[in-house]
Structure 1
């Protein structure tokens, strides 16, 4: 009995992770444009650069995750492990980081 389901679940999952990485990349590009102007320092641009790097790494990790899952589903002996939750953890940590940076930006702009 094969584990493989002929549906397109792995492909849809990879596309969802690509959209997530693309959204992070677009948000990072916007922050590179807006934050230095709004907060008055070019150093805020580094956050956008960090976001672009994370988006690129997420894109590559999503592709590797797809390949791993594809192999696991097509392996008749079931010896290949399914992908873990590392992309979810990275996305959660990135979101927490963005929230903390937003809080810092509010504190910097509101403080006299």
Structure 2
């Protein structure tokens, strides 16, 4: 009996991570374009560029995480451990920071 079924679940998980990274990139590009026009300062391009960089890092780290899970669960014994939740915590932190920035922008526009 094998521990690992290489069915579609790992592929769906990888696609979900890619979809998340792509969503962050698209919203970041929209923010980089729209925020300077709305707020009138070129410095508001920086959060958009940071978001695009974060989405690229998420894409790479999610691919690395998928390979680590595949190695750890494969039928051939490997000393690898399952990846921990650091990538998930980083994504939650990024989302919280983006939400805080959005709240700051909304309060600044409302004045």
TM-score, length-scaled by structure 1: 0.91
Mapped partners of 2:85, 2:10: distance in 1: 14
Deviation at 1:108, TM superposition (A): 1.6
Mapped partners of 1:109, 1:85: distance in 2: 36
Q: Which residue of 1 aligns with 2:52?
A: 52
Deviation at 1:107, TM superposition (A): 2.1
Q: Give 4+ residue runs of structure 1 displaced > 2 Å after superposition.
A: 75-79
Mapped partners of 2:58, 2:27: distance in 1: 14
Mapped partners of 1:66, 1:76: distance in 2: 17
C-alpha RMSD of the superposition = 1.4
Deviation at 1:76, TM superposition (A): 3.2
Mapped partners of 2:72, 2:3: distance in 1: 8
- The higher-RCO structure (CA 8 Å, 6+ apart) is 1
Q: Is the 8 A contact 1:3 1:76 kept in 2?
A: no
Aligned residues: 111
Deviation at 1:102, TM superposition (A): 1.0
Alignment of 1:33-44 (within 5 A): 33-44=33-44
Where in structure 2 are there 5+ consecutive unaligned residues? Answer: none
